[in-house]
């Protein structure tokens, strides 16, 4: 039955799925690419897979064809819901579940049973915001929240997630991402891989939540310290950290960190140390 499905191109024509910029719509039409994303997500058979923004359903089909136990799609656009309902006829309602709504407002942990994986070609306009929401879930439940997240971002965002110290991409996003997850860069895609092509390159990355954060410190404290440090990334730490409203020289001394350094050279361990002391003295 599945082999009789129309191509994604035909689906787009049939449903008059002209793209909406406000919904960050850049579709993948090539099965080779969507199959590759499913492959990088690994072990779908034992997981309830969540796909944000299935659009015309290319990646959805690849996830189902790769044997995902179930796929739950979360989609805002009514036109794509009609496409998903057709796909449900082909793959069965027991395997493909449809949530019509805004992924930013969806409580995935309450709605979908564990073990879960997220696999998505994210709408770029809300991609980082979605990731930060999932970090809250991961901070609460570690790898019980999600076994992994395989996500397509703008390449520039992917680079900021995997960045290491002493690079211009290193900042708040790298520290928080790597504090909670192991982060792997999978592959890059040129604009021509999408319809319509975006202005920039894209990349697929896989985040594997740690069972516990990298160091024992609270995420809110770490976020405050990192926000202050990178809020003025060109300044020395002893000046940038003043916005924390605590005696900065003392904080740096207790952490054994040279106040003349700039935020971008500090390791995640050093940020965690600062956050631990900041939290203890607050
Ligand atoms: N997965 C499809 C593909 O790869 O061809 C489409 C990806 S497209 C980059 C992003 C999709 O997310 C669109 O289908 C869009 O309608 C949907 N979307 C945008 N904002 C959303 C939101 N807040 N909640 C759920 N879906 C959203």
Domain of 251, CATH number, reads 1.10.8.100
Q: Is 123 in the pocket of ligand 1 (CB under 6 A)?
A: yes
Rounded CA separation 123/198 (Å): 11
Q: Is 53 in the pocket of ligand 1 (CB under 6 A)?
A: yes
Q: Is 264 inside any structural domain?
A: yes
State whether 47 and 174 are in the same domain.
yes
State whether 201 and 223 are in the same domain.
no
**Ligand 1 centroid from CA 274, angstroms:** 38
Q: Is 213 in the pocket of ligand 1 (CB under 6 A)?
A: no
Average pLDDT per run of 10 along the chain, which is 282 residues long?
81 93 95 98 98 98 98 97 97 98 97 98 96 98 98 98 98 98 98 97 98 96 98 94 95 97 97 97 80
pLDDT value at residue 2: 54
State whether 128 and 262 are in the same domain.
no
State whether 143 and 256 are in the same domain.
no
181, 209, 237: which is the final residue of a domain?
209
Burial 158-171 (b: 16+ CB within 10 A, else e): bbbbbbeeeeebbb
pLDDT value at residue 4: 81
Q: Is 94 inside any structural domain?
A: yes
Contact status, residue 275 vs residue 254, Cβ threshold 8 Å:
no
209, 236, 271: which is the final residue of a domain?
209
CA atoms 128, 277, 245, 241: torsion sign: negative
Q: How many domains does the chain have?
A: 2
pLDDT value at residue 3: 56
State whether 188 and 224 are in the same domain.
no
Rounded CA separation 231/214 (Å): 23
State whether 166 and 196 are in the same domain.
yes
pLDDT value at residue 282: 77
Q: Specify the CATH number for the domain of residue 59.
A: 3.40.50.150
The parent domain of residue 261 ranges over 219-281
- CA nearest ligand 1 atom 1, residue: 54
**Ligand 1 centroid from CA 261, angstroms:** 41
Q: Is 77 in the pocket of ligand 1 (CB under 6 A)?
A: yes
State whether 199 and 227 are in the same domain.
no
Q: Which atom of ligand 1 is nearest to the CA of 34?
A: 4
Which residue among 55, 119, 130, 193 is best mutated to probe the pocket of ligand 1, counting the most ligand atoms within 8 A of its Cβ? 55
Q: Is 24 in the pocket of ligand 1 (CB under 6 A)?
A: yes
184, 209, 234: which is the final residue of a domain?
209
Q: Is 214 inside any structural domain?
A: no
- CA nearest ligand 1 atom 6, residue: 55
**Ligand 1 centroid from CA 87, angstroms:** 16
pLDDT value at residue 47: 98
State whether 39 and 173 are in the same domain.
yes
Rounded CA separation 255/242 (Å): 15
State whether 165 and 260 are in the same domain.
no
């Amino acid at each position: 039955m599945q082999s009789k499905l129309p191509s994604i191109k035909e689906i787009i024509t049939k449903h008059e799925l002209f793209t909406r910029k406000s919904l960050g719509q850049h579709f993948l039409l090539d099965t080779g690419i969507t199959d590759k994303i499913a492959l990088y997500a690994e072990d779908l058979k034992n997981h309830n897979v969540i796909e944000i923004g299935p659009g015309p359903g290319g990646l959805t089909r690849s996830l189902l064809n790769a044997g995902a136990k179930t796929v739950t799609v979360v989609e805002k656009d009514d036109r794509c819901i009609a496409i998903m309902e057709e796909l449900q006829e082909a793959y069965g309602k027991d395997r493909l579940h449809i949530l019509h709504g805004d992924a930013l407002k969806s409580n995935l942990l309450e709605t979908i049973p564990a073990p879960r994986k997220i696999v998505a070609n994210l709408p770029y306009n809300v991609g980082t915001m979605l990731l930060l929401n999932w970090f809250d879930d991961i901070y609460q439940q570690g790898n019980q929240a999600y076994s992994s997240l395989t996500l397509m971002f703008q390449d520039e965002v992917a680079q900021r997630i995997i960045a290491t110290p002493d690079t211009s991409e290193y900042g708040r996003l790298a520290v928080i991402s790597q504090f909670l997850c192991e982060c792997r860069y999978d592959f890059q895609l040129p604009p021509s891989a999408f319809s319509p092509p975006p202005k920039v390159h894209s990349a697929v990355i896989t985040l594997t939540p740690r069972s516990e954060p990298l160091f024992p410190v609270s995420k809110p404290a770490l976020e405050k310290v990192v926000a202050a440090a990178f809020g003025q990334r060109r300044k020395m730490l002893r000046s940038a950290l003043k916005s924390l409203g605590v005696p900065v020289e003392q904080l740096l001394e207790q952490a054994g960190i040279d106040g003349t350094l700039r935020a971008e050279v500090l390791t995640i361990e050093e940020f965690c140390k600062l956050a631990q002391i900041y939290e203890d003295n607050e």
